[in-house]
Amino acid sequence: MAHSVTLIPGDGVGPELAEATRRVIDASGAEIEWEVQEAGLAVMEAEGTPLPERVLESIRRNKVAIKGPITTPRGGGFRSVNVALRKALDLYACLRPCKHYAGVRTRFENVDLVVVRENTEDLYAGVEFEEGSAEAKQVVGLAGGRIREDAAISIKPISAFASERIVDFAFRYAKENGRRKVTAVAKDNIMKATDGLFYRTAREVAKRYEGEVEYDEWLVDAMCMQLVQKPELYDVMVMPNLYGDILSDLCAGLVGGLGVAPGANIGEGVAVFEAIHGSAPKYAGQNKVNPTALILSGVLMLRYLGEREAADRLEKAVAAVIAEGKDVTYDMKPNRDDPTAVGTREMGEAIVRAMSR
């Protein structure tokens, strides 16, 4: 049976990447009925909002979407469509697998990590008080001399509910994907209340998976050092929002950077797949940037849809094209102005050919 999937091409380099991704997924053997929904800059001009209700309705109906990047104007303009999507659909888990493919130039090989980041609370909850505001003064009063009077304040909420939900997600993901271990990452030696609650909850969840998936803990600072020294020792890592933001970029760097780092934002029965990178406006319309990150997000989507064979076929083809190093975009060549680099479309076509070999 065909799966209905919402395809949001996005803006900047998004539409070219989305087109290449759609073609390789169509050639993977999975049957997908695409429902294309425009969002982003051009839509803002035409419809007065960058994220019209019709886009959300489409995702709610299909339960699965894949999207190209969308520009967030700096200093004014509209708020991030990406954040609005996560909020509107309660996409509480951000999944970022970071795997090394032979042929990508990196300092380490054998890296195969998955960062599971809580997406809804922590310092990203948006509860912030400007210095000198009435709210900031109230908090300064509550803190009994531990906060200076001229401090701006960002609140860090960590709940038992959200911690349980994200850690359980990490264990389920580990179990369903044949992974060995889940590592909880936070800093409870300093943040005893918030990060202490996160670890306590994680230990409780880990008991449910005893004998199936291992559990351990690292403090976030030590984890960073471990990752840049011995990344091959780690597997699935689960953490609150801010640590997850930082560590997922660190892990993407370990495996070759933005061009190859896929992602997914997942909620209860709904998921939006997207690359980590942005809309790279300076390359828009040039058929230049690397489609690998969005295509690998498509591989994650196929697995989520239960299309394991198609996912494996597509992932193998991506790996083969990268390992061969011929039909790849400029950023994957040893020299960035290598004249043999191919465009976005041509790399996609090479992946389609590799699937039929």
Nearer Cβ to ligand NAD, position 19 or 235? 19
User: Which residue, 27 or 70, has its beta carbon nearer to ligand NAD?
Assistant: 70
Do residues 3 and 33 make contact, with C-beta atoms less than 8 angstroms apart?
yes
Min dist. Cβ of residue 5 to ligand NAD (A) = 18
- The smaller minimum CB distance to ligand NAD, of residues 82 and 241, is found at 82
What is the smallest separation between the CB atom of 72 and ligand NAD, expressed in angstroms? 3
Going by their DSSP bridges, the two strands 93-99 and 264-267 should be labelled as: antiparallel
Q: State the catalytic residue, choosing from 11, 245, 327, 331.
A: 245
Rounded Cα gap, residues 51 and 58, in angstroms: 12
Q: What angle do CA 156, 159, 163 make, to 5 degrees?
A: 110
Q: Is 195 a catalytic residue?
A: no
The answer to whether 263 and 66 are in contact (CB under 8 A) is no
Under the rule (CB under 6 A), what is the footprint of ligand NAD? Answer: 69-72, 82, 258-259, 274, 277-280, 282, 289-290, 293, 331
Nearer to ligand NAD by Cβ, of 157 and 278: the residue is 278
Nearest distance in Å: CB 159, ligand NAD: 25
Provide, rounded to whole angstroms, the least separation between the CB of residue 281 and ligand NAD.
6
Nearer Cβ to ligand NAD, position 69 or 343? 69
124 is catalytic: yes
- Cα dihedral 202, 208, 213, 216, rounded to 10, equals 30
The one catalytic residue in 187, 234, 243, 330 is 187
Matching residue, tokens 């043999």: 340
Please state, in angstroms and as integers, the Cα–Cα distance from residue 186 to each residue in 191, 217, 239, following that order.
Answer: 9, 8, 6
Active site residue 245: yes
Residue 148 CA to residue 146 CA, distance in Å, equals 7
Q: In whole angstroms, how close is the CB of 283 to ligand NAD at the nearest point?
A: 7
* Catalytic position from the list 124, 199, 215, 234: 124
> Catalytic residue among 26, 90, 216, 221, which?
221
Residue with tokens 């909002």: 49
Adjacent-strand bridge partners of 217: 184
238 three-state secondary structure:
strand
Active site residues: 124, 187, 221, 245
